[in-house]
């Protein structure tokens, strides 16, 4: 059974940085997509960033220029570097992964991902 384990969340002041990590229990080099979603209290889960083979890296407009996603398939790990954090970035961040290729539009949809981590809390507050 595939497991994804996130780490790196925490409390940070506005303008600060955090780096999230997500380690998979299996080799990820052939997996189509790995990415990050987030869910704030009372809101739906939303896409943050996706790294998919054969696709341009995707970022939600709200994080463009501030967040960077990267994959290290030698470590079966996907990272999310978050800079210039804002209070509105506060949420539980989830790592997600999918083995098989799907159409572009579905790549950015949470329901397309069968594998999920347990989530890590990111709180941006002064």
Per-residue pLDDT of the chain (126 residues; tens, 9 = 90+): 899 999 999 999 999 999 999 999 999 999 999 999 999 999 999 999 999 999 999 999 999 999 999 999 999 999 999 999 999 999 999 999 999 999 998 999 999 999 999 999 999 999
pLDDT at 107: 93
Cβ-Cβ contacts under 8 Å for 52 (sequence gap 6 or more): 32, 33, 35, 58, 107
pLDDT at 94: 98
> Comparing C-alpha atoms, which of 102, 94, 97 is closest to residue 119?
94
pLDDT at 7: 96
Residue 60: exposed, middle, or buried by beta-carbon count in 10 A (0-12, 13-18, 19+)? middle
pLDDT at 117: 97
pLDDT at 76: 96
Give backbone dihedrals phi and psi of 87, rounded to 5 degrees, phi first: -60, -30
Asked whether the beta carbons of 51 and 108 are under 8 A apart, the reply is no
* Distance separating alpha carbons of residues 92 and 83, to the nearest angstrom: 17
């Amino acid at each position: 059974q595939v497991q994804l384990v996130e780490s790196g969340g925490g409390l940070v002041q506005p303008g600060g940085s955090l780096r999230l990590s997500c380690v998979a229990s299996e080799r990820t080099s052939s997996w189509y997509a790995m990415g990050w979603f987030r869910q704030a209290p009372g809101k739906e889960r939303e896409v943050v960033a996706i790294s998919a083979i054969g696709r341009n890296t995707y970022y939600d407009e709200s994080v463009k220029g501030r967040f960077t996603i990267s994959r290290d398939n030698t470590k079966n790990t996907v990272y999310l570097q978050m800079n210039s954090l804002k209070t509105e970035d506060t949420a539980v961040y989830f790592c997600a992964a999918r083995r098989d290729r799907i159409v572009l539009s579905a790549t950015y949809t949470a329901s397309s991902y069968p594998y999920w981590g347990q989530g890590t809390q990111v709180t941006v507050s002064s």
